[in-house]
Amino acid sequence: MALWLARRGADVALVARRRDLLEEVAVEVRALGRRALVVPTDVAVREEVLRAFEDVVEGLGQPDILVNAAGIAVWKAFLDVTELEHRAMMDVNYWGAFHWIRAALPGMRALGRGHIVNISSGTGKIGLSVTSGYSASKFALTGLSESLHRELLGTNLNVSCVHPGSIRTGFWDPVAIPRDGVPPLVRFAPKMSPQAVARTVGSCVRWGFAVRTVPVFVGLLARANAIWIRLGDLMLWKWFIPLLGMALLLGFLF
Are 68 and 169 in contact by the 8 Å Cβ rule? The answer is no
Cis geometry, peptide bond prior to residue 215 (ω within 30 degrees of 0):
yes
Query: Which neighbouring-strand residues pair with 236?
Result: none
**Would you give the end-to-end CA distance of the chain in angstroms?**
48
Helix %, strand %, coil % of the chain (to 5): 55, 15, 30
Tell me which of 53, 95, 98, 134 is the catalytic residue: 134
* C-alpha span between 64 and 154 (Å, rounded): 17
Would you call 94 a catalytic residue per the annotation?
Answer: no
Query: What DSSP designation does 158 have?
Result: E
Query: Can you tell me whether residue 165 is helix, strand or coil?
Result: coil
Amino acid 170 reads G
Q: DSSP strand E in the chain: where?
A: 12-16, 36-40, 65-68, 114-119, 157-164, 211-214
* C-alpha span between 99 and 248 (Å, rounded): 49
Query: Can you tell me whether residue 112 is helix, strand or coil?
Result: coil
Q: How many other CB atoms sit within 10 Å of the CB of residue 45?
A: 15
Q: Which residues participate in catalysis according to the annotation?
A: 134
